Chain A
Amino acid sequence: MTRTATISLTVNAELVTATVPVRQNLVDFLRHDLGLTGSHVGCEHGVCGACTLRVDGRTVRSCLMLAVQADGCQITTVEGLADQGLSHALQAAFTRRNALQCGFCTPGMLASALSYIDAGGDADRDAIRAHLSGNYCRCTGYQSIVDAICDTIQESRP
């Protein structure tokens, strides 16, 4: 018998209460139960970065967190990032710079890039690459992704 637990959490500013199997990963709960398929599932062991999202304002691998652990937390997925501050500018820069090809890594890339920008990171290609080293782009679009992040930083600061 699958063990379950009831959790209450805030997802993209909406309060959600649900009963989940305790073995369910946060990303699977978001995708399968809430239909928020923006967060992608790649490796399921915390290496590829495709499922990166925000929990209580900090980036987290949602394949390395159980839904039950997110009880009481505030979750922001790529769907919720869409209308927040610099995220819009970053997404526009991704489009302009052709920084998404197949798009599979993009939600995780955006979440990681935003944590870099929010932390006051500079438009320094090496530092950006180091920060993004936990996010894989199998189209190998890294140059364009770094271009887009640099653009966003340069445009957002005087």
Chain B
Amino acid sequence: MKAPDFDYQRPQTLDAALALLAAAGADAMPLAGGQSLMPMMNFRVANPGLLVDLADVDALRGITRTADSIRIGAMTSYAELDASADVQQAVPLFGLALPHIAHDAIRNRGTIGGSLALADPAAEMPALALALDAKLEITGPDGTRQIAADDFFQGYYDTALATGELIVAIHIKVMTPDQSCGFQELTQRHGDYALAGAAVMRTRSSHRVAFFGVADRAVRVVALEQALNDGIPVADALTHLSTIDFTNDQKASAPTRQRLAGVALTRALKGMIP
């Protein structure tokens, strides 16, 4: 199908974009790369009266690196992440994950901010943000705020973003020599949405583990992380996966997903870099 009629605006500044979103309220949707929103509109699942295309808003672009952190503009595409030496060096976890995110043509348009704002439970970016303990810079009618990824994802395609707010950038700590990272996802075909996936950051013996494709949102399992921190063998730590409310759909049953989440984590831990 094709999308029903809508109004389209392409503001040149962040203030203009926020004003358009504020004026139209819940009837407006921001358009980032469109790699999820366009299919949703073509399916008529999403039906905005106004699309606010963020393509020309320079304030949402750019990658800035300091000694210990990196700030990535929300409109940065996966292809730009992949091409950025700063990103590859500061966040090697992205290097592991990016080849798994859909396909070349999708990565050329899809953006980091769009993926986070949509919060697709099977998408990689929310889980990466959780594992990396990323901070999201958000702006809206009431000003600018920062929120931890841990507090951002609130349910099935549900986030802490209020109507009229936009993600401006994502802030991530530069990986340090005492850290390592791992990533693995299981799909039917390369580039498909994950049936189960795991992203891991380890700091000395401390772990942050985020799963995706398994539940209504990307999730960490604190008890499982604690078990890994305590040196409990992975196979035993996996019992804590049972605290996840696994998705049960036509692609995979809940027990299958639980099994695959364990496989993904086990493989991610075996392939940790550096």
Q: Which of B8, B42, B191, B192 contacts A3 (CB 8 A)?
A: B8
- Asked if residues A61 and B106 are in contact (CB atoms below 8 Å), the reply is yes
A110 to chain B minimum Cβ distance, whole angstroms, is 13
Instruction: Kindly state the separation between the CA atoms of A23 and B1 in the bound complex, as whole angstroms.
Output: 12
- Asked if residues A134 and B8 are in contact (CB atoms below 8 Å), the reply is no
Q: Which residues of A contact B4 (CB under 8 A)?
A: 23
Chain B contact residues: over half helix, strand or loop, or mixed? Answer: loop
Q: Which residues of A contact B1 (CB under 8 A)?
A: 44
- Asked if residues B35 and A64 are in contact (CB atoms below 8 Å), the reply is yes
- Asked if residues A64 and B104 are in contact (CB atoms below 8 Å), the reply is no
Given A44-B2, A44-B42, A60-B109, the answer on whether A68 and B8 have CB atoms closer than 8 Å is: yes
Chain B residues with a Cβ under 8 A of chain A: 1-8, 10, 34-35, 38-39, 42-43, 51, 53, 55, 79, 99, 102-106, 108-109, 189-192
Q: Which residues of A contact B3 (CB under 8 A)?
A: 23
Q: Which residues of B contact A5 (CB under 8 A)?
A: 8
Given A25-B2, A112-B105, the answer on whether A63 and B191 have CB atoms closer than 8 Å is: no
Instruction: Kindly state the separation between the CA atoms of A5 and B7 in the bound complex, as whole angstroms.
Output: 10
Contact with B along A52-64 (1 / 0, CB 8 A): 1001001111011
- Asked if residues A69 and B2 are in contact (CB atoms below 8 Å), the reply is no
B48 to chain A minimum Cβ distance, whole angstroms, is 11
B55 to chain A minimum Cβ distance, whole angstroms, is 7
- Asked if residues B102 and A65 are in contact (CB atoms below 8 Å), the reply is no
Within A73-110, which residues are at the interface with B (CB < 8 Å)?
A: none
- Asked if residues B6 and A22 are in contact (CB atoms below 8 Å), the reply is yes
Instruction: Kindly state the separation between the CA atoms of A133 and B43 in the bound complex, as whole angstroms.
Output: 22
Q: Which of A2, A28, A134 contacts B106 (CB 8 A)?
A: A134
Instruction: Kindly state the separation between the CA atoms of A55 and B51 in the bound complex, as whole angstroms.
Output: 21
- Asked if residues B108 and A60 are in contact (CB atoms below 8 Å), the reply is yes
A140 to chain B minimum Cβ distance, whole angstroms, is 13
Which residue on chain A has the smallest CB distance to residue B4?
Answer: A23
Given contacts A60-B108, A69-B55, 10 further A-B contacts (CB under 8 A): A28-B2, A44-B2, A44-B39, A58-B105, A64-B34, A112-B104, A130-B191, A133-B103, A133-B189, A133-B191
Which of B1, B2, B103, B191 has the most chain A CB atoms closer than 10 A to its own CB?
B103
Q: Which residues of B contact A18 (CB under 8 A)?
A: none
Given A46-B39, A58-B79, A133-B190, the answer on whether A115 and B104 have CB atoms closer than 8 Å is: yes
B195 to chain A minimum Cβ distance, whole angstroms, is 15
Q: Counting CB contacts under 8 A, is A131 at the interface?
A: yes
Given A59-B108, A64-B39, A112-B104, the answer on whether A3 and B190 have CB atoms closer than 8 Å is: no
Q: Counting CB contacts under 8 A, is A66 at the interface?
A: yes
- Asked if residues B8 and A45 are in contact (CB atoms below 8 Å), the reply is no
Q: Which residues of B contact A116 (CB under 8 A)?
A: 104
Q: Which residues of B contact A111 (CB under 8 A)?
A: 105
Instruction: Kindly state the separation between the CA atoms of A112 and B104 in the bound complex, as whole angstroms.
Output: 8
Instruction: Kindly state the separation between the CA atoms of A28 and B3 in the bound complex, as whole angstroms.
Output: 12
B186 to chain A minimum Cβ distance, whole angstroms, is 14
B79 to chain A minimum Cβ distance, whole angstroms, is 7
Q: Which residues of A contact B102 (CB under 8 A)?
A: 134
